[in-house]
Structure 1
Amino acid sequence: MEKKHEMMSLEDSEQLKGRMKFFEKELVENHHIDPNLYVEYDVKRGLRDSAGKGVLTGLTEISDVTGYKLVNGRRIPADGALYYRGINVQDIVNGLKDRRFGFEETIYLLIFGKLPSREELSRFLELLSDMEDLGGRFVRDVVMKGTNANIMNAMERCVLALYTYDDNPEDISVENVLRQSLELIAKLPEIAVYSYHAYRHFRKDETLFIRNPQKGLSLAENILLMLRPDGNYTELEAKVLDIALVLHAEHGGGNNSTFTTHVVTSSGTDSYSSTSASIGSLKGPRHGGANLKVQNMFTDLKANVKDWESDEEITAYLQKILNKEAFDHAGLIYGMGHAVYTLSDPREVILKRFAQALAEEKGMTDEFKLYDKVEGIAGKLVMEHRKLFKNVCANVDFYSGFVYSMLGIPEELFTPIFAIARMPGWSAHRLEELISANKIIRPAYKYVGHHADFVPFDER
């Protein structure tokens, strides 16, 4: 009976597509804006000026992203730097040494504005551990029902459902939002991993296993524990994932998903709606989904380049990508270029170092060398192809997907891992918006259509 219903739905769907074609044509014809008008009215498309620099729309003390140095009033390209609460992220990573809770320390720093002492970190870890349990009822009634092939959508649904389980969901006082933010940070790893397992079981007929996180383990360790059938992982694997989470935790107020946090928060809405909106923004392939694009591009490259050590073969393939003759025909070498960074992306520099160490442990040094070679060739090619004077460097997405693959993280969880990492940054910006800004964000759009007289129904 259910199969018959599915077949009827497919037939109805085809009929619907046929009816929609007329309306699609109408839509396109009536929604096209002359590109010249954007120049005429000096519209900052994408909230960027003509040079591609972001338009200043707010102030923040949470993080700083730099790619230039000012010399005699001129912007000179420089190695990129990323600061969390004024502290260089390179120093944060180096300062972690053999400690297991780097991501947790970073969460504390971003939200509370300072690095924790040993006692403060211990109390904070206990708090996060107490908050991470989703509860059997939520897992059964929410996570396991209405499974989704796109885990980001599943995460949005689960986050919105948490509203129902909150005794005080609408209270946007700083105290309540802090509590909600920490709970979301603690629970998001389980939501992502359990949603993936549910999808594999109910959509792919795989064996279902749900493993509870263990107290005393870092968030990175628990992700690997919950994800893997045997629950095992090496010390280096947990360390590399922890560093990846640190590097993705925050990136200024202007990136798309964090700006979404500011916009939605400024309306006075609840924490679950705000977080869901930010997840929806991060899902896009132009933002958080870019690392998966890089992986798919390399899969295609491996299929078309016989000699991985040949600069000529690799260059020819990359040139085809830029000419829209290869891969997805978009003309983009994914993982290359950044809106702010010029000579280097500090996150990429750090992650590349750990990617090499992990590749050595996994016996994947040939793949790492291929990534390294493509990185060296691609930047110059993009500059030549687009006739750019600005240096084009690899960004953090270039190696993050490769790292996740070596960790055995399935592609469906690439962007969800990014969301888990970015949740502390979103939370810090939401709190900053509530405490400091207190004004709804409302940029202007200019109407460039034409006024018209209403035509009575019988005369149309």
Structure 2
Amino acid sequence: MDENTFLDEHAAYAGSLRVITPESYSRYGVKRGLRNDDGTGVLVGLTEIGDVHGYILDEGEKTAVEGRLRYRGIDVKDIVSGFQQDNRFGYEETVYLLLFGTLPTQQQLSDFIELLGEKRSMPTGYWEDIIMRSPSTDIMNKLGRAVLGAYSYDQNPEDYSIKNILRQCIELIARFPALVAYSYQSKRRFFDNESLHVHSPDPRLSTAENFLQMIRPDQHFTKLEAEVLDLALVLHAEHGGGNNSAFTVHVVSSAYTDTYSAISAAVGSLKGLRHGGANNRVMGMMHNLQEKISSWDDSDAIASHLRLLLEGREYDNSGLIYGMGHAIYTLSDPRAILLKAKAEELAQAKGGKLLEEFELYKRVEILTPEVFRRVKKSDKVVAPNVDFYSGFVYKMLNIPPELYTPIFALSRIAGWAAHRMEELSIGSRIYRPAYKNVLGGQAYSRLNDR
């Protein structure tokens, strides 16, 4: 029997096995996806790192409130306001806050930025052996393998002291821009038949500036472009311990494995379409809308298209308007508000078609709640989440779509690192939730009798 015949036959067999029904979960009181019946998350841990607040529970019912995101207790709006008023980049300060639990002094921030600059370069042979010799069509796949490969270049990979884990995390944070950029360049060279452009990281530049100069052939970028990307990195750096990739870090770290395995596992989680790929789906949805309506300022035509989306008769027939609504935020997503303001500044600077497209996004944001109310017969509040605008921001920065989720990882490595150190520092037990077997017993039959 050849391979395809075997797989076809056995895939059909595997697919015919008894499927556990939703009613079974209710019968045994199982919280599917670690979600309560009202959509709230099951409390499985404690953290001091990120706090995501989007509703209030009043006598068992959710009451919508304006969204709030805090890093180490500080509102992200205040963090953004602080570095924007100082006319400086904010991601490095945000990383420091997440790792150490306090805002840095001017000298501490200067020292930390200098340390990150020193650590941005790859170890000797790493670029050639780990990235160039095994390129991938998917940059997140390559990033996960590149993180695992770093283990081989670490002379002390299995030391679980906080000092050593901190060193490993800082090195990964510093090198993630190059890991993503070089994985992208190797993909372009080997799979897209494009020229290879490999630019060394500049220790004098911020994380956002370094990334832009490494992915662009001419290394050129404007200050506003770097500011917009820097803001996006700040807003994606952390989102509580319950999001899938951060929770993955906690679970894997609780098994007492090495840093590279834990962070690579988080990359694998973020690669999943249900976690890190939302802004790509927003972009696809908006491209579909732009093709189907003749005038971008025709609110009636836009509303009609949105209705078709909700009815599952447009784009991917999912019945969703991607980028609208969030699992926790209700009245607003603070990240979307901050990113939208900076996106408008960039759209004004770019002008032309991009400014027209930004206005289209704003119309979709305004029209969706009313269309949702009429189609779904629901009074649920629907507000844009950060993914609604982030993909368009990257488009304005001329960043290709295959880099959207890797940029998410480039930012979120800060939160992952903080969660890994928190998990190990509190000395918690290995995660071991229970699964109930509902199949029952079967008799064994001898081979000749089957």
TM-score by length of 1: 0.94
Match of 1:39 in 2: 26
Match of 2:337 in 1: 349
Matched, 1:124 2:135: no
Q: CA deviation at 1:326?
A: 1.3
Deviates further, 426-435 or 301-310: 301-310
1:68 aligns with one of 41, 55, 64: 55
Match of 1:52 in 2: 39
Deviates further, 181-190 or 62-71: 62-71
Q: Is the contact between residue 116 and residue 203 of structure 2 (CA under 8 Å) also seen in structure 1?
A: no
Q: Is the contact between residue 293 and residue 334 of structure 1 (CA under 8 Å) also seen in structure 2?
A: yes
Matched, 1:414 2:401: no
Q: CA deviation at 1:76?
A: 2.5
- Amino acid aligned to 1:171: D
Q: CA deviation at 1:145?
A: 1.4
Deviates further, 312-321 or 84-93: 312-321
Alignment CA distance shift 1:263-1:305 (3 Å): same
Matched, 1:217 2:213: no
Matched, 1:395 2:382: no
Deviates further, 294-303 or 307-316: 307-316
Unaligned ranges ≥5, structure 1:
1-11
Alignment partners' CA distance in 2, 1:19 and 1:292: 35
Question: Deviation digits for residues 388-412 of structure 1, max 9, x if unmatched?
Answer: 4431211100000000010011111
- Amino acid aligned to 2:278: A
Alignment partners' CA distance in 2, 1:330 and 1:243: 31
Matched, 1:187 2:175: yes
Q: CA deviation at 1:449?
A: 1.1
Q: Is the contact between residue 383 and residue 392 of structure 1 (CA under 8 Å) also seen in structure 2?
A: no
- Amino acid aligned to 1:93: V
Alignment partners' CA distance in 2, 1:185 and 1:242: 14
Report matched runs for 1:274-285 at 5 Å. 274-285=262-273
Alignment partners' CA distance in 1, 2:172 and 2:308: 43
Q: CA deviation at 1:324?
A: 2.0
Q: CA deviation at 1:135?
A: 3.6
Q: Is the contact between residue 379 and residue 394 of structure 1 (CA under 8 Å) also seen in structure 2?
A: no
- Amino acid aligned to 1:57: V
SS at the partner of 2:167?
Answer: helix
Alignment CA distance shift 1:218-1:39 (3 Å): same
Report matched runs for 1:325-336 at 5 Å. 325-336=313-324
Alignment partners' CA distance in 2, 1:386 and 1:448: 36
SS at the partner of 2:196?
Answer: coil
Alignment partners' CA distance in 1, 2:363 and 2:286: 12
SS at the partner of 1:130?
Answer: helix
Match of 2:428 in 1: 438
Question: Deviation digits for residues 192-220 of structure 1, max 9, x if unmatched?
Answer: 00110111011111111111111211000
Match of 1:316 in 2: 304
Match of 2:196 in 1: 208
Alignment partners' CA distance in 1, 2:438 and 2:267: 32
Alignment partners' CA distance in 1, 2:60 and 2:254: 34
Alignment CA distance shift 1:150-1:73 (3 Å): closer
User: Share of identical aligned residues, percent?
Assistant: 49
Alignment partners' CA distance in 2, 1:305 and 1:156: 40
Question: Deviation digits for residues 58-101 of structure 1, max 9, x if unmatched?
Answer: 00010111112467886421110000011000010001124433
Question: Deviation digits for residues 152-183 of structure 1, max 9, x if unmatched?
Answer: 00001110000000011112211111110000
Match of 2:82 in 1: 95
Question: Deviation digits for residues 270-318 of structure 1, max 9, x if unmatched?
Answer: 0000001000100112111111111111111111111111122112212
Matched, 1:253 2:237: no
Aligned residue pairs: how many?
Answer: 447
Report matched runs for 1:89-168 at 5 Å. 89-97=76-84, 98-168=86-156
Question: Deviation digits for residues 120-142 of structure 1, max 9, x if unmatched?
Answer: 01111111111110145111111
Q: Is the contact between residue 285 and residue 293 of structure 1 (CA under 8 Å) also seen in structure 2?
A: no
SS at the partner of 2:426?
Answer: helix
Alignment partners' CA distance in 2, 1:276 and 1:71: 39
1:174 aligns with one of 156, 162, 174: 162
SS at the partner of 1:91?
Answer: helix
Q: Is the contact between residue 62 and residue 84 of structure 1 (CA under 8 Å) also seen in structure 2?
A: yes
SS at the partner of 1:33?
Answer: coil
Match of 1:3 in 2: none
- Amino acid aligned to 2:268: G
Alignment partners' CA distance in 1, 2:101 and 2:141: 31
Q: Is the contact between residue 237 and residue 415 of structure 2 (CA under 8 Å) also seen in structure 1?
A: yes
- Amino acid aligned to 2:237: A
Deviates further, 29-38 or 295-304: 29-38
Q: CA deviation at 1:383?
A: 4.3
Alignment partners' CA distance in 2, 1:210 and 1:100: 27
Alignment partners' CA distance in 2, 1:263 and 1:71: 31
Matched, 1:84 2:67: no
Alignment partners' CA distance in 2, 1:371 and 1:83: 27
1:405 aligns with one of 395, 403, 408: 395
